[in-house]
Amino acid sequence: MGLRLAAWLIAGLAAAGPLQAQDYPSKPIRLVVPIAPGGALDGVARAVGPRLSEAIGQPVVIENRAVGGGIIAINQVAQAEPDGHTLLMIFDSFVTNRWLYKSVQYDPVKDFAPITLVTRSPQVLLLHPDVGVRTMKDFLALVRSSGAGMDFATAGAATSSRLSLELFKHTANLDLTAVHYKGGNQAITDLLGGQVKGMIVSISVAVPHVKRGKLIAIALSSRTRAPLLPDVPLISDTFPGFEAQGWAGILAPAATPRPVIDYLNAALRKILAQPVVRERFEMQGYEVVASTPEAFGDWIRAESSKWARIIREQKITID
């Protein structure tokens, strides 16, 4: 059995109905991660999962389910029993999939109960050194005077690196040619080799290459500067209001009792406040958020609305 909830929480569970006769959690929790092992999101889940298990007194089993781009797994979690024993770790594509794939059955707002926004992380506008510029001003001048689209890599047609690039192209009114790869590793390899000239990529991927002088960091996509790249300016310094961040959070199926959501939120926020956890994330360029369920719900609604509009207006497809 898990840890006995506080008296107020037990009272809330009693009012909720299905869980009234038991402590929560009463069995192992499945944390579904809709990508293959080894990715950035998987790393977030594996940093949090064991500590959550310790906090609640039940195993937290991480299930990587990447078939169908993870969409099948997300659809299945949306239909899971809303008892708090099946959770979902999501990242930014969770809100954009609906507008890009016909196979998406879930509604990111209506079909899930937010627990907490775990992290946010900026992306970095990178250039190969051979491009010959080191500032946003010079980059804009070069592209606008060249008369030909500069090749920019993306990690795939439906990834955040592609969508952030499309948003940047539109905002800056630039002619940049998107070259879609099947994953970020090959995209970065070709950028390092000069086969493509630029890319917008997560800060955790960018920093090692920037520190070694192999790639040039022109600007960040976040609202504030990043401690790992303190001298790199923001895209919003030139184009006010621009923001396109990566993020990760944890959800439960809709109709999960609110006391369970609050219990998990409190446990996760305590974990994310631990110095060793914060340091681990911050060393990779993540901002630890540890939000309330309400704030995470607001974030999901805002991101869904924003990217739906951008995808529609820019006629973005995955073909």
Asked if pLDDT for residue 12 goes beyond 50, the answer is no
> C-alpha distances in angstroms, 120 versus 156, 226, 286?
21, 11, 6
Q: Residue range 45-71: average pLDDT?
A: 94
- H or E segment to which residue 63 belongs: strand 60-64
* pLDDT computed for residue 319 by the predictor: 58
Beta carbons within 10 angstroms of residue 10's beta carbon: 17
Encoding tokens for residue 318?
A: 């995955």
Tens-place pLDDT, residues 289-298 = 999 999 999 9
Q: Three-state DSSP class for 15?
A: helix
* Whether the Cβ atoms of residue 172 and residue 145 lie closer than 8 Å to each other: no
Asked if pLDDT for residue 30 goes beyond 80, the answer is yes
Band (pLDDT 50/70/90 cuts) for residue 9 is very low
Tens-place pLDDT, residues 276-317 = 999 999 999 999 999 999 999 999 999 999 999 999 999 998
Domains and CATH numbers, the chain: 7-121+245-313 (3.40.190.150), 123-238 (3.40.190.10)
Q: Residue range 265-272: average pLDDT?
A: 98
Tens-place pLDDT, residues 97-147 = 999 998 899 999 999 999 999 999 999 999 999 999 999 999 999 999 987
Buried b / exposed e over 17-33, threshold 16 CB at 10 Å, is eebeeeebbeeebbbbb
